[in-house]
Every structure is written in structure tokens, then in C-alpha cells.
Amino acid sequence: MTTIDRRLAPTTLAPPLWRRRSRLQRAASAVLPLLRRPGFSLALLVVLFALVAAVSPSLLSSFDPYATAPAAKLSAPSLGHWFGTDELGRDLYTRVVYGASLSVLAAFLAVGIALVGGLGLGILSGFAGGRIDAVLMRFIDVLLALPGLLLALAIVTAIGFGTVPVAIAVGVGIIPGFARTTRAEVLRVKTLPYVEAARLGGASWRRTLLRHILPNAWGPVAVLATLDFGAAILATAGLSFLGFGAAPPAAEWGTLIANGRHFLITAPWVSLLPGLFLVAVVFSLNHIARTFEEIQR
Amino acid sequence: MTADNNLLIDVRQLSVGYRSGGQTLLAVQRLSLSMAQGETVAIVGESGSGKSTLANAILGLLPDHAQISAGQLWVGGNDLSHASERQKRLQRGRTVGLVPQDPMVSLNPTLRTGQQIAEALILAKGKRYPGVDADIVELLQQVGIDKPVLRARQYPHELSGGMRQRVLIAIALAGNPRLIIADEPTSALDVTVQRKILDHLQRLVSERGISLLIITHDLGVAIDRADRILVMKQGEVVEQGPPRQILANPRHDYTRALIAAAPAFARRQEPLARSDATHAPILRLHNVGKTFSLPKVKGEDPTFVALQDLSLQVYPGQTLAIVGESGSGKSTALRIALGLEKPTRGQVWFEQQDVTTLSWREFRPLRQRLQLVQQNPFAALDPRFTVFDSIVEPLVSFGRLKGAALEHAARELIGRVHLPVSFLDRLPRELSGGQCQRVAIARALALKPDLLLLDEPVSALDVSVQAHILDLLEELQREMGIAYVLVSHDLSVVANFAHEVLVLRNGKVVEQGTVEQIFNRPGSDYTRELIAAIPGSVAASAA
């Protein structure tokens, strides 16, 4: 240590050609090595495909998802129809691609609700402590005690059917996990010396919270968000499968799978291929979450 | 090829390398060392000098990515350089025992101390034998633990750091080894405890004829204890010999630097003159007391008196040192001065203003004149902030500077603490402990304070790095006229640095006076004990 100190001492006299390194440069140096991992790259590709499908599905398929062709109903996967066709002759691949927008939107909405609600509750109770903490955490305990899907079903029944209500229901269901994680991290970071140093340096509570506590408490919560994004896709699909989600003509992953269950013996691809695609997306998200968790250590 | 059987350890031309990313970094280079039965040898070097790698090699505990690339390693008549894991296991505990570095984390928190000693005993003597409980008690008695029957049934968290270190020594002794390796055995402990434990270890070892290999960064400890000293630098032995010779005529520049860094051997400067009373004190604590209330336990006092009747004055441009062991209330005093805790009794004055009852918001303007440097430099910096962000943080918080002026200020501050400008882009994890502490000091200086509170600023650092940081602090005081309050458990740190010393014990002031008074005419037994505990003081007074 000392030797380094001493060796570097003269260089302080060198002309100060130093410029601040931008945030982008630092982020790039952190992310680029990850892309060399084949598993991570593959997972990222699958997720990107789903996101592109959600934003502009017409890029990925030239068919119309609603165009029926009774002559070609329930045809097996082929070069023309990659995933085959359903009972009305609609191209299944196109419907999966078009279904992404509803599913991904619902998942984003659900995770968004969970993040905002969970972070808010977690920070409030971790930061305020005392009675507020006790009351909030008991409320969270109650939410945790109810099975997520049951809670979602109750909420959907109360506020009505459709994609957005389903997303809200799923989001509320995963709030407790976020609140708990955030609170634990805030409690840990709050007592660290550098937070005290920032306070003594004259930083206001707001500044301390936003610049020191949140960024350092954020890691595990971000991992949880990635992980729960997959879980939210699965949960919305599950609720759609049960018939609470998107109404029939609209393509949605859960509805697609539900549709095919009548032809499971004669035309298994109608359920199976959308289901496998859903599994691939959720697995990819889990893998990405796990990679992030690993590099944080 | 056979080893000389009289030698317990015979290391010949040993090289150990760490593989990382296709490259091999040699941590130990062509090192030779031999130890006879009953000898005490000390290896001295800074962090990264390869001394722990050597100890791990002797124990056969090198990590997977380390590799013995050349040389031989004879321990107790066996060559360990190419031995199997099974052979190495036979050596551990029975031939070589280890007293690890950090007593706080080296015991299993879920097992009673007795069970952990029993584990070592059973490993050494075979099956669970009938006398194991008696042996545990005897071992605990030998390492100087009172009430051994009770202690054996307690868990590690119920014992103090010193007692845990004694339990670790008992575990090392359990296998009746021929050599004990003590890896920085006491650097995590208070100086007085450190001295008692080293005394005890040395007595046990000489009674039983065990060899002792002390690994330390503190030349003072080595000179007091060892028959022979090896000085290591970057994996090589730069010098070896008996302590007297090393101290009297060191041949290598590096050894000279180490001697200069060890506080006990540093020539005491002229005691720094105390300023006349015409100056008004910048900080004044008047009869300050602090009582904490504890969770109610039946039959115990519900309150804990951390501080009693503390009065002190700090004058501009001068240093007041507060010395005491852990639990003496010195950190509490600092926190009260900073306004982080409210005193139960007494007043705190900053210049002409009574700040005792100020709220956080009212205190905030004063923060620009009063800053803190914390104990653990690694935890004191936000891991996500670059050095630049950390240093200018107080300036941004107070909204003093922006943009180019901010970058200019950062360049100036980092120059003040003698770090290269390119370091501004680094993150704390890319810095060494000494460099982190420099950054923390630069951050404290950002607002150009008049008073800096230093909470054990060097206790987490190597001795030689300590000396550099203290030099830096002294230089800053000369140039900028800052007043310091230095809190330390080590009187040797204070000797060349402070104008005035205050010795605290159990929340009470034991003694207060100038450095010259405290060191040359100590008025209390406790102060004398603290002075005697400075490592190397035996040799220094003899020389």
C-alpha cells in the first residue's frame, strides 16, 4: 500500500488532463463482459424478441392475427405457418407475436405497481421506524398470508375483467415481497458509516435517501423486479387462462393456451407452442435475474 | 533427498503463485526459512507482502488458484510442497496449530466454546474419550480464562474479543502441536489486551517448548517477542536477523522505513507547545455526561453510564487526543461533540455558541466548520460513488460550487491528500485502505473546516501506512491551521501528534495534560499501563 502511495506521489505534479468518466462509459464496462456468457446472451435475445413483439409486432410477422382461413384450420407447424394454425385457421405464430403486447404490458404494469407500492412502503417503514414501521409491516404480513393467485382472483372479481384489472391484481399481489426486501435493505444501508458521513457533510434527508440509501439498497430489489416480471407474465397468463383476462378475439398468451386445450389430443401445438414460448420468456427473465444477483456479490 | 531432522520447518527456495486470468502472480519468491524446535520467529511485512501466503503454505491451506511453483517445504520431516490433502490434514493441528487473525469471526457462533475446543481435541486424540471435558477446562485455565467451567458452556457472542482470542489459542494448543502460527494475532484488539495475550501466548509456548511463528505488520511487536525476525517485501525476504541487530543497524532501506514508521522507535519530537490561554477555545465540553437506558433485565441496572463529567477544550490549530480502550466512552464523547447524540448532562460550546440543544437543522450551518473522519475507511465511502463524487459531496450538499469550479476543487483536494488526479475516476473498491482514508480526509477538508474530529483514523491500517496518514494530517494542520480531536486506543499514535492528551477509562477522565506530562510523568497506574503496552517499548527503552 505504502509503496504504491509513494510511487504515485510524484505523478500528482503531472498536468491535470483528467476529465470525468461518463456514466455510460462505466455502465458499458460493467455490462459488456456479461454478453460473452452464452446463456445470458441467449436469454437476452429471447427477452428482446418478446419486447420487440410487444412494441411493433408487424416487424416479426406479415400475417394478420385476426384473419381466419377455415380451409387451413388446425394445420400442423410447417414452413408457411411456423407454429401451425388454430381452430379458425389463424396463424398461431402471428397470434403469439401479437399477444406479446398485451402480456408484456400487463407484466410491466404489474411490476410497476409492485415497485412503486413496494418501494414506497419499504422505504417509509425502513426509514421512519417505530410505530409506522410496526403498522405497515403487520399489514404486509396479512397480504403475505394470502396466496397470491387467490388475492388476485378476489381483486379481479371486485374491479372487473380485462387485461388492466388483471395486471393491477397481480401487481398488488406481489407488493409485499418488494416492501419486505426494500425495508431490509434500507435498514442495512441506513446505519453504514458513509450515510452518517453524508449527513455530517450537510446532506439533507432527501438527498441522503436519493443519492446514498436508494442506489445502494436498489440491487436486490432490481433482481426481484426482473424475477417477478417473469412471475407476473405467468400470473396474468394464468388469470387469462381462467377467463378473467382479455376477451376472446384479442390475442393474449394465456387465452391462446386456454383456446387450445379443447384440441390437446388432435392438435397439441395449439396449446403447446404458445406455452413453450411463454416458458422460454419466463426462464430467460429468471436467468437474467440470477446473473445480476451473481455479479452483485 | 531428506530434510535435516533437527529442523521443524525448512523452507527452501519456495515460490508460490496465484493464477488469475491466464497470468501467474508470484506472492512468495524464492523464500528460504528454517526454524528449530522452541524458536520464536517473526515475519514482518505490509499487507500484500506475501506473509500470509507463506503461513497458509506451511499449514497446507493454500487456496485452489494458488500453486507452489518451485522449491521445497519441509514441515516436521515431511515435504508438503507436493503432498496430498490427506497428508496435509495429518499435519494440521498435530504438528502445526494456527491462531487466526480476527477473533470476532473465527469462532462458530452457533457452537459453545467448549464444543469447539472438544472438536480440536477429538481430532487430535481420536474418538470421543472420557476425559474430554476435563481437558477442555484445563486448556481454558491454561490460556488464562477465569471461571473455565462457565466459559466452556457459553457461546462466542457472550465473550469479549480478548477472551475469544484466548479460546482460539486453546483450540490451537489442543492438538499439542510443535509449532503455532499466530497470524496477526492481536491487531483487532486494544493495546493493553494485546499485550496481555501476547505475554500469555509466549509463556505457554516457552513452557511447552513449542515453536512460535508470529506474522505481523508491526515491527514493534516482532522486536519485543521474537528470537529472529524476517522482513518481507513483495514476496521476498529483504532482511533477517536477531531483533537487536535489525533495530541497531538495519541493512535494507525498507527495514529502515519500517523502523521509522513504528511509533515506539520514532524519535520523540520536541513536545508540541500548547497555545496560551489568550485564544478562545474552538470547542468546549463542560461537565458532559451521557447515560444510556438498557432493555430491562431483572436484577441488573437499567442504565449504563457511558460518560461522566467530561470537560475539555480544543484550541484553534491544536490537537487534543482522547485515549482509552473500547468501552471507555471516547466515541460517545466524539458523537456528542458532533451533535449526533445529545448529552444527558452538561453543555457543548462551539466557539461562543451553546450547541447542546440545537436541532439538526439549526446545527447544519456549523457542519461546514466541523467535520469527521471515520474509523473504517472502506465503509466510510459510498461504494457506488467515484472518488470525485465522494470528495465533492459536501460542496454539492451545501450548494457551494457547480460544474467546472467543482472539478477544479476536486483536483485541488485530491492533490492536498497526495493522490494522483486520475484516482478521481476510481471507485472505493479499487483503492487500498490507506488510499480510501486519504479520500475520506479530502472529503472532510472540502468545506475547509476549522475543526476535524478523527475517530481512530489509522487503527484499521498497517503501521507504515499509519505513519503516512499521520504525516499527512500533521502537514494539513500546519498548512491550514485546523484543530483536531483525535480519538485512539493507542498511545503511541498520539505521542508525536497531539498537543494535549486526555486519558479516559470507563467513562471517567483518568488523566489530562500535555503530551510531555503524560509520557514522562504519568500520574496514574492506568496511564503507565497504557504506555508499557506500546509494542516495541521494551526494546526501545533498552536501546
ipTM over 0.95? The verdict is no
Q: Are A151 and A173 in contact (CB under 8 A)?
A: yes
Report pLDDT digits (tens) over B492-502.
Answer: 788 878 888 89
User: Closest Cα to residue B363, out of B327, B339, B345, B389?
Assistant: B339
Tell me, what's the pLDDT at A17?
A: 53
**Rounded distance between C-alpha atoms, residue B200 and residue B142, angstroms:** 9
Residue of chain B nearest A15, judged by CA positions? B421
Q: Which of B3, B425, B377 is nearest to A194 (CA)?
A: B377
Q: How far apart are CA B450 and CA B282, in angstroms?
A: 8
Instruction: Determine contact, residues B455/B331, Cβ cutoff 8 Å.
Output: yes
Q: Which pLDDT tens digit goes with each residue over B300-357?
A: 677 788 888 888 888 888 889 998 887 788 888 888 888 888 888 888 888 888 888 8
Question: A74-100: per-residue pLDDT in tens?
Answer: 777 887 778 888 888 888 888 888 888
- From A112's Cα to the closest Cα of chain B, the distance in A is 25
In the predicted model, what is the mean pLDDT of residues A138-147?
Answer: 89
B232 within 8 A of B43, measured Cβ to Cβ: yes
| B93 exposure class (CB count in 10 Å sphere: 0-12, 13-18, 19+) | buried
**What pLDDT digit, counting tens, does each position of A181-193 carry?**
999 999 988 888 8
Under an 8 A CB cutoff, do B397 and A204 touch? yes
pLDDT exceeds cutoff 90 at B488: no
B406 to chain A: nearest residue by CA?
A: A20
Q: Are B44 and B229 in contact (CB under 8 A)?
A: yes
User: What are the extents of the domains in chain A?
Assistant: 104-296
Q: What's the whole-number mean pLDDT along residues A164-187?
A: 90
pLDDT tier, B420 (very low <50, low <70, confident <90, very high otherwise): confident
- DSSP for A118-130 reads HHHHHHHHHHH-H
Residue B15 has φ and ψ, to the nearest 5°, of -125, 130
d(C-alpha A288, C-alpha A286), whole Å: 5
The three three-digit cell numbers of residue B486, written as one number: 483525535
Nearest CA of chain A to the CA of B364: how many Å? 6
The answer to whether B331 faces chain A, any CB pair under 8 Å, is: no
Identify all chain A residues contacting B217, using CB atoms and an 8 Å cutoff. none
User: Which of B339, B323, B328 lies closest to A196 in space, CA to CA?
Assistant: B339
Say how far apart CA B320 and CA B315 lie, in whole Å.
8
Q: CA of B156, closest CA in chain A: separation in Å?
A: 23
| Cα distances (angstroms) measured from residue B462 to each of A24, B7, B225, B262, B432 | 36, 32, 19, 10, 11
The answer to whether the Cβ–Cβ distance between B420 and A14 falls below 8 Å is: yes
The whole-number pLDDT of residue B265 equals 64
- Beta carbons of A194 and B386 less than 8 Å apart: no
Q: Which CATH number fits domain A104-296: 3.30.390.10, 3.30.930.10, 3.40.640.10, 1.10.3720.10?
A: 1.10.3720.10
Q: Which residues of B341-380 are buried (b: 16+ CB within 10 A; e: fewer)?
A: bebbebebbbeeeebbebeeeebbebbbebbbbbbbbbbb
Quote the cell numbers at residue B38.
522452541
CB contact under 8 A, A4 and B386: no
Q: According to the model, what pLDDT value does residue B484 have?
A: 92
DSSP state of B329: S
B447 touches chain A (CB under 8 A): yes
Q: For strands B228-233 and B40-44, give the pairing.
A: parallel
Residue B401 CB neighbours (<10 A): 16
Structure confidence at residue A6 as a pLDDT band (50, 70, 90): very low
For residues B166 and B199, is the Cβ–Cβ distance under 8 A? no
Nearest CA of chain B to the CA of A41: how many Å? Answer: 22
Q: Is B459 on the interface with A (CB under 8 A)?
A: no
Cβ contact, residue pair A4, B340, below 8 Å: no
Asked if B85 and B79 count as a contact pair (C-beta separation under 8 A), the reply is no
Q: How far is B392 from chain A (nearest CA, A)?
A: 10
Of B234, B338, B468, the CB nearest to A200: B338
